[in-house]
Amino acid sequence: MRSRFSTSFTALAIATAALAAQAAPQAELHELAQKQQQAYLDTLKELVHIESGSKDLEGTKQIAEYVAGKLRALGGKVEILPATDIYRLDDTPEQVGPMVHAEFKGKGKSRIMMIAHMDTVYLKGMIKDQPFRVDGDKAYGLGIADDKQGVALIIHAVDLIKKLGYEDYGTLTVLMNSDEEISSPAARSTMVRLGAEQDAVFSYEGGGTDGSLRLATSGIGAAYLKVTGKASHAGAKPEDGVNALYELSHQVLQMKDLSSKPEEGLKLNWTLSKSGSNRNVVPAEATAQADARALKVADFTALEAAMNEKVKNKLLPDSKVELKFEVRRPPLEANDSGRAISKHAQGIYEKELQLPMKVMDKATGGGTDAAFAALKAKGGVIEGFGLSGYGAHSNSAEYVQINTIVPRLYLTARMIQDISAGKVK
């Protein structure tokens, strides 16, 4: 007869083994992810060596063709979308590069979208100063962290799913744009439209140095003031003029109180100004620009309305005051669906891969295409699915951490599996 201690010990051992098995990574998936690493680095090298500054039309078309070819080879329905519906910002170029849109159909019902951007901040010819190279556990290159690592991750995550033979998703949508670094004037409407159709959206900007996922980012706005006055001789007949600089100063100062809510993430700071042509001429024109930040979409709407009301109060009645406000990028606001998805991702990372992961639901910094995808979304939108790295917008030290390739590929595949199986609540 077995002792009560023996029986309890056996039960405990079985429970412990079951728990360990549950927490272990899926062996086949993890092995396939490991086999993707070198292919991923090869793709990343090719992407880095295609120079694709946001205003380099030739370069953005070239990288779009490359990415589209990779996705077609994986069996996707792929189209290169020219920039047509362009939201004109103050610095939007006449022509904007294309987007790549791909869809992969499965046998299930889930709808998941993955986004990244193909453009960089760099000028043509700068690749000679920062070509792709591997040094220890880091891969360096122009635009490698922001965001060519994300482009490569999506390509190889789809490849991983295909090699695994997993087809229980409904639709995997891929969208990559080439105007993110200039505030996505052409891609934003497509992102909003497609984002509204998804159960989940994963954005592959880098996960910073610690691999954090982000549920919220600040929005970026800009205000432009233009005052038109009347020129006159500053010494002989100043009374005949209308001093645009005086009126501009009045307008800027009376709007100072609109930036008094930093605790709520609403900020308005006037940063640039220009007026006059000569010391002895009353200036006929003066301009100023302001940077605006907000944590809620509604805050930008309220700020613009308040500014329009303020400019009605003029110091010089004969001056003409024009205000233009643009939302360059809306804030990404955390929602319950996003929290549930990120918590599930955190569990996979920590329990199956034994790696730490932070989830940040408070906005830090600003500016992400994920915010456009989230504007009308019912599902969760998560930023930071990309590799860990550092040095974005640096022409000498931009890198990604190679040891995050496999975990990030594994995470994407597991999230597709669990969302498609209805396991994310």
CATH number of the domain enclosing 24: 3.40.630.10
Q: What is the mean pLDDT of residues 379-387?
A: 97
pLDDT interval class at 15 (50, 70, 90): very low
**Are 294 and 357 members of one domain?**
no
119 is a catalytic site residue: yes
Contacts of 377 (CB under 8 A, 6+ apart): 195, 196, 198, 201
Verify that 177 and 227 share a domain, yes or no: no
Task: Let me know if residue 320 belongs to a domain.
Answer: yes
Among residues 285, 311, 329, the one where a domain terminates is 329
pLDDT (tens digit per residue) in 167-190: 999 999 999 999 999 999 999 999
- For residue 415 the two structure tokens come to 């999230």
Q: Are 199 and 111 in contact (CB under 8 A)?
A: yes
pLDDT at 225 over 90: yes
Q: Which domain holds residue 228?
A: 221-329
Judgement on whether residues 17 and 140 belong to the same structural domain of the protein? yes
Q: Is 103 a catalytic residue?
A: no
Q: What is the mean pLDDT of residues 59-79?
A: 98
State which amino acid sits at residue 336: D
Per-residue model confidence (pLDDT) at position 365: 62
114 and 59 assigned to the same domain: yes
The residue type at 190: T
Task: Examine the domain organization and report whether 108 and 243 are in the same domain.
Answer: no
Given 51, 146, 147, 180, the catalytic residue: 180
Q: What mean pLDDT is predicted for residues 23-45?
A: 96
Residue 19 reports pLDDT greater than 50 = no
Structure tokens at 289: 């620009």
Residue 5 has pLDDT above 50, yes or no: no
Question: What's the full length of the chain, in residues?
Answer: 425
Pick the catalytic residue: 51, 56, 119, 369? 119
Total domains present in the chain: 2
| Number of other CB atoms surrounding residue 11 within 10 Å | 10
Note the pLDDT tens digit of each residue in 121-164. 999 999 998 899 999 999 999 999 999 999 999 999 999 999 99
For residue 405, tell me if it sits in a domain: yes
Summarize the confidence of residues 390-406 as an average pLDDT.
91
Please report which helix (H) or strand (E) contains residue 25, including its range. Answer: none
Rounded mean pLDDT, 248-276: 89
pLDDT at 17 over 70: no
